Amino acid sequence: MQELPDCVYERDEPNIITPKSPTPNHCLYLSNLDDHHFLRFSIKYLYVFQKPIDCEILRDSLSRVLVDYYPLAGRIRAVKPSGDRNQNKLEIDCNGQGAVFAEAFMDITSNDFLQLSRKPNRSWRKLLFKAQASSFLDIPPLVIQVTKLRCGGMILCTAINHCLCDGIGTSQFFHAWAHLITGPYHDHHLPIQPFHFRHVLKPRDPPRVTHSHPGFTRITLGDQKASSNIITLDVTKYLQSQPLSPATLTFTPSLILRLKKTCAPSLKCTAFEALAAHTWRSWAHSLDLPLTMPVKLLFSVNVRKKLTPELPQGYYGNGFVLACAETKVQELVNMNISHAVKLVQEAKSKITDDYIRSMVDLLEDKTVKTDVSCALVISQWAKFGLEDLDLGGGKPLYMGSLTSDIYCLFLPVAGNFDAVRVQVSMPEDVVKRFEYRMVECFGRKS
């Protein structure tokens, strides 16, 4: 795979974009759904646009939108401990220090990028300015790089700290930014006003864990026979110890419909349920996991309308939890896909108001961590409107993640709302097996 050329930066140091007018100066509480260990990283988005937008316009509109989204101009910090319960708690210092905005040029065309780099690779990282910081907490929550291309096109990359918002919140922020670019200059009214305060998701006092939460429970493999050559198996550690290569497959609406039809006729399911079940089975099958081993599927579920009362409109913090389906490998790969679909549906059905409150209370204990040792994690980016972002030069030619990981992304496809691109990284020798398993039921490669 051909690597991208180096970026030539416009200046030695990037701009720091601060809010255009004064903003509240206070510390913002982060909920337990925001700051638990699994989310302590930045989500990196990549857009390819056919037409450029003047960087002065982008900087000015970003400065204006940061007035409303002022926590993104702040800095994350650890809360001063006050008893054991607050150990390792994070908050946002809303100090208006600003977002990082870098400008660069790369000597390629947008078509070069789309043709030569069909899958993420390490050279894509050149498209995002790397903020120098001694720790995760010192990286500004919002880092942006605009890279102009030889053809006149533009690549926009952003890194947004996951502790501040999820995919829905990110889409809300991006569209607010676009609104201030494309709307009348003096119209500062956003279609959706951001709701900042996370106290609606504070734990109960005292915390009450009323449900089992298998997504946070370490799997015990038990005694294995010597013939299995496995005593214990941490799939995540195994994957992270290998050279990884991304697998990327696009499922059109017609392929998803065919996939749904492979389920029992009486089983109604959504496109997500069918594709998640199919991806989980293909993943386990291609890794050749021991048949008696328990295996999990963790997938994001939007809880904004599942709570009582519902989260306020404009809530852009993390409003999702990870649902957990689990079974043994032999049941997952040997039974019909409808078995896996039912497990996904059962996991979704458990996400009730009390279940969510129980999970918030569980995460008050900062020693609790998401158990990914024997799990595929699927994050849903499709259906959020991320691919519809128009900064004034038209919708993107491509939208996706800057990087690929062992966690699976369901990505939107620019220009095709109902299509889904499945992306996950696996060991190089496993990628072909995974891709084969993903398309074998269709009789041809997707």
The set of catalytic residues is 162, 390
Report CA 342 to chain centroid distance, whole Å: 24
Of residues 419, 424, 443, 392, the one with CA closest to residue 177? 392
Query: Which H or E run includes 419?
Result: strand 416-427
Of residues 219, 375, 386, 366, the one with CA closest to residue 299? 375
Q: Which residue has the tokens 């609406």?
A: 253
Amino acid at 24: P
> Strands, DSSP E only, in 304-415?
320-328, 375-380, 398-401, 408-413
Q: Phi first, then psi: what are they for 247, rounded to 5°?
A: -105, 130
Q: Other CB atoms closer than 10 Å to residue 343's CB: what's the count? A: 22
Tokens of 100: 């990082």
Angle between helices 55-68 and 167-182 (to 10 degrees): 120
Query: Which H or E run includes 90?
Result: strand 90-94
Q: Which residue has the tokens 């119209």?
A: 187
Angstrom CA distances, 251 to 30, 81, 145, 441, stand at 36, 48, 30, 13
DSSP 3-state assignment of 430? helix
Beta pairing, strands 142-149 & 99-106: parallel
The span from the CA of 329 to the CA of 343, in Å, is 13
Long-range contacts of 252-256 (CB under 8 A, 24+ apart): 252/416, 252/418, 252/419, 253/416, 253/418, 253/419, 255/442, 255/446, 256/418, 256/420
Q: Other CB atoms closer than 10 Å to residue 357's CB: what's the count? A: 20
Tokens of 48: 């390819």
The number of residues making up the chain comes to 446
Rounded CA Rg of the chain: 22
Query: Is residue 398 within 8 Å of 111, Cβ to Cβ?
Result: no
The span from the CA of 28 to the CA of 40, in Å, is 17
